[in-house]
């Protein structure tokens, strides 16, 4: 079928367009288009001329731009600012799809039916070497987003081990290495010994799941969906920052332990966040909604 969508979250879209449909990505002036991505089954379209079987809407203002008669699925990527916040399209659409169970729990979606389709990741392969006795973080705009993404905790982790922070806007940090395209990012992450996930209140970051697919051990704040997504034998999950700092130091100092924990992380990620299950769940939803 022909699936209309906007390019909002690049990593999520990269997984979504691996399916068997024709993916119509809204281009300027109504969307960002492909942004240079090479997705074989996706093409950039003018919203004024598009013909689609179903639309995947990811922001409330997109809802009014869907061509008349095209059925809609609303995909919610984010956690609400507070747990009693009404969802912006509650009672306006027939179905809201959440990417985590935590998000579904926290959003007030009124009478609208909700389901969860957990993230799927295109497996980058077991690239982990851990050759660099360093810790890695991936976060976008850490200075602007501050405590929400744990920017204030980074000095604590940097005291435990040399720290490298990847992502948009990280150049403003002492440890920042800037943004990288996905293949380069995966190679660079895999050279670091441990992945640190310091986010307090965000949806489950795909970079965490990608790091687990690479075979990296994980040290993560036990917030939002993380306790469900990271098993105990994959590293350290806690809300005790001292415990997390000790976990970083221990894993960086012990390559064998890091590799063992990373193997468990990869095993879990493949079983719970694989691309086939993700695409299968979405096929079911698209078929149902398109009628």
Q: What is the pLDDT of residue 82?
A: 85
Q: What is the pLDDT of residue 217?
A: 98
Strand partners, 69: none
CB atoms within 10 A of CB 242: 9
Q: Which domains does the chain have, with CATH numbers?
A: 2-120+275-290 (3.40.50.2000), 132-273 (3.40.50.2000)
Query: Using only C-alpha atoms, what is the Rg of the chain?
Result: 19
Q: What is the pLDDT of residue 291?
A: 82
- Whether residue 168 is preceded by a cis peptide bond, meaning omega within 30 degrees of 0, is no
Q: Kindly give the confidence (pLDDT) of every residue in the chain, 291 residues in length, as a single tens digit, with 9 standing for 90 and above.
A: 999 999 999 889 999 999 999 999 999 999 999 998 999 999 999 998 899 999 999 999 999 999 999 999 999 999 998 888 899 999 999 999 999 999 999 999 999 999 999 999 999 999 999 999 999 999 999 999 999 999 999 999 999 999 999 999 999 999 999 999 899 999 999 999 999 999 999 899 899 999 999 999 999 999 999 999 999 999 999 999 999 999 999 999 999 999 999 999 999 999 999 999 999 999 999 999 998
Q: What is the token pair recorded at 27?
A: 């281009």
Would you list the DSSP string of 202-244?
SS--HHHHHHHHHT--EEEE--TTHHHHS-GGGEEEES-HHHH
Alpha-carbon dihedral angle through residues 87, 83, 6, 138, given to the nearest 10 degrees: 170
3-state helix, strand, coil in the chain (%, to 5): 40, 20, 40
**Residue 78: CB partners within 8 Å, gap ≥ 6?**
103, 202, 203
CA 184 to chain centre: 17
**Residue 215: CB partners within 8 Å, gap ≥ 6?**
126, 127, 128, 190, 259, 262, 263, 265, 266
Q: What is the pLDDT of residue 84?
A: 81
Edge-first strand listing for the sheet containing 235-238: 176-178, 163-166, 132-138, 192-197, 218-221, 235-238
CB atoms within 10 A of CB 28: 10
Q: Which residues of 56-74 are buried (b: 16+ CB within 10 A; e: fewer)?
A: bbbeeebbeebeeebbbbb
Q: Find, among 137, 97, 139, 117, the residue nearest to 272 by Cα.
A: 117
Q: How far is CA 84 from CA 27, 106, 107, 177, in A?
A: 35, 7, 7, 37
pTM: predicted TM-score of the whole model, two decimal places? 0.93
């Amino acid at each position: 079928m022909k699936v209309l969508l906007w390019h909002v979250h690049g990593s999520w879209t990269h997984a979504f367009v691996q399916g068997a449909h024709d993916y119509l990505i809204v281009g300027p002036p109504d969307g960002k288009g492909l942004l240079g991505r090479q997705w074989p089954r996706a093409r950039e379209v003018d919203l004024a001329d598009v013909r689609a079987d179903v639309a995947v809407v990811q922001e409330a203002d997109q809802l009014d731009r869907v061509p008349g008669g095209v059925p809609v699925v609303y995909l919610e990527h984010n956690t609400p600012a507070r747990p009693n916040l009404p969802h912006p399209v509650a009672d306006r659409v027939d179905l809201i799809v959440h990417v985590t169970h935590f998000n579904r729990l926290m959003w007030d979606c009124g009478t609208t039916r909700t389901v969860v389709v957990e993230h799927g990741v295109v497996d980058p392969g077991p690239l982990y070497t851990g050759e660099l006795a360093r810790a890695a973080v991936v976060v976008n705009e850490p200075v602007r987003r501050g405590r929400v993404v744990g920017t204030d905790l980074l000095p604590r982790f940097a005291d435990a081990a040399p720290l490298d922070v990847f992502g948009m806007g990280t150049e403003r940090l002492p440890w920042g290495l800037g943004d990288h395209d996905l293949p380069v990012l995966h190679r660079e992450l895999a050279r670091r010994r441990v992945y640190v996930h310091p986010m307090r209140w965000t949806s489950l970051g795909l970079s965490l799941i990608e790091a687990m697919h690479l075979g990296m051990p994980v040290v993560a704040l036990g917030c939002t969906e993380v306790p469900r997504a990271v098993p105990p034998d994959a590293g350290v999950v806690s809300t005790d920052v001292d415990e997390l700092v000790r976990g970083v130091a221990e894993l960086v100092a012990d390559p064998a332990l890091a590799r063992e924990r990373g193997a468990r992380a990869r095993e879990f990620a493949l079983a719970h966040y694989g691309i086939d299950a993700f695409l299968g769940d979405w096929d079911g939803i698209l078929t149902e909604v398109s009628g």
